[in-house]
Amino acid sequence: MDSLPKSLLYYTSQISNFTRNCVKVNSLNQTTLASNGVSQIRVAMPVNSVLNLKSLSMHGVVSTTGETADAAGEDNHALIPKGGIGALLQRVTWSAGGVSLDNGPVPYHVIYAVKENLEKGNQKSMSDDRVLQQSNIEDKDSLQEQVGDKPVPALGQQKRLIQNNFLGFSECHPTYLDMSLLPECFLSIQWGPGSLLPLQPSGDTTIGDTAHAGGRNVNFSIDEIFFTVEVCQIGSGMYDALTQRLLAERGSIDVPYPAYQTFSTTTGKDTGVANVRGSISCMSLDRMYAIARENSFNVASEPATCADAVGSKYQQKSINFGSFDLKSWQFSLNNAPMPMYPADPVDAYNFAVCAEDRTYSKNRGSQVSSQAEWLTNKWCATQRLCLDNDPTRLSGVNLSSINATMVFQVVTNGKAADQPAVGLEMMLITQQKSVLRIGQSRAVAVVA
């Protein structure tokens, strides 16, 4: 029967006494956070229940505050950035019973943007994310209606947003996790600085990336913060019996989830792209990414205009990744070159497509809509090292017994016109699988 196509099979699958509901979870310390005030929040997950971690959502009213009379004599309006709440996060960490489940890579919003650019299609960006997560930057005269208890700040914007996809442990499998097997789990979130906000001077009628002074005194706040998550119950007892039998037979249950790590270096004025290196030890190194961005993200500025873009036309400078003066690139893992030849900047997109198994797909894509946008605004070198995209399979490079050295090597074209005057930050990002091993009596350990 297994050899028959599904369209010819007759079968039914039933789970009796199944219920699902959504609960509100308040934070342990704050309901309001700000870039110039309290910048960290902590929330405890519900215990003794089965949670759908993919439904975990953070709700809040995002308000931005601009600055008056900068060096150019103009007021700067602070805009809500592309990506909404996710674009304002600096660090996201998980812990269970005092055991840290990740190393809290920084900056979180850069990793988030890289994966969004390569893995999420424009269809979702222009529907779900446009409603919930501010997938496009809006003009200074928009979003002026008060939606929370706090009035719209001067020279700012205000909007109620929901962040509903966090990187890290919430991507674990199974996604329906029985919290009665674990000690209490905590999610800690740290906000970034106000320099993450895009600006629009009062004299500009359109959004653009014209050079403009100022941007050091803009801020944002998130008010009325709370979280929601789906809670499930299976009243038949079948799930509990199977789980306990599995624990008794194996002694432990393994829950795999992705983890991330970042390494960075900066280059000087008019220097261009440069090599970046890092070291890692893990059970399954799945992917390596490398990006370059202008080293001016510590000051808020006008957003970059995405070249020949379909959909979102602007993005903040902190997530504007370009190829700049890059001629060729190549990763090296313990002196093994990847790929086996020096690849050019356009090759990088083909590697990204192959990494997502999209070469034969008819209805999938990314947020990159032109070659110009790829080279100027969303460039990223990537290499997939695992067998496939199965989140439960540990098939990447096993580096658990050694401390592997990774290098992102570049060759420049030597054109001064392609080298930004502010210098660059080069960043190497790794994605690896960690395993949360759950034992009897809620004992847990992380197998990296």
Residues 6+ apart with CB under 8 A from 144: 152, 157, 158
Length of the chain: 448
- Positions in the chain short of pLDDT 50: none
Q: How far is the first Cα of the chain from the last one, in angstroms, to the nearest whole number?
A: 39
CB-neighbour burial class of residue 208 (10 A; exposed 0-12, middle 13-18, buried 19+): middle
pLDDT for res 211 = 56
Provide the 3-class DSSP secondary structure of residue 278: strand
pLDDT for res 71 = 60
pLDDT for res 15 = 78
pLDDT for res 402 = 82
Q: How far apart are CA 124 and CA 315, in angstroms?
A: 17
Q: How far apart are CA 247 and CA 136, in angstroms?
A: 47
Provide the 3-class DSSP secondary structure of residue 264: strand
Q: Are strands 89-96 and 199-201 parallel, antiparallel or unpaired?
A: unpaired
How much of the chain is helix, strand and coil, in % rounded to 5?
Answer: 15, 35, 45
> Two tokens at 184?
């209490």
- The structural domains of the chain, ordered by start, are 17-447 (2.70.9.10)
Q: How far apart are CA 158 and CA 150, in angstroms?
A: 9
Residue 288 CB neighbours (<10 A): 24
pLDDT tens figures, 101-134:
999 999 999 999 999 999 998 888 889 999 999 9
Provide the 3-class DSSP secondary structure of residue 101: coil
pLDDT for res 409 = 94
pLDDT tens figures, 404-439:
899 999 999 877 777 887 889 999 999 999 999 999
CB-neighbour burial class of residue 364 (10 A; exposed 0-12, middle 13-18, buried 19+): middle
pLDDT for res 133 = 92
Q: How much is the pTM?
A: 0.94
Q: Which residue has the tokens 């900047």?
A: 345
Provide the 3-class DSSP secondary structure of residue 300: coil
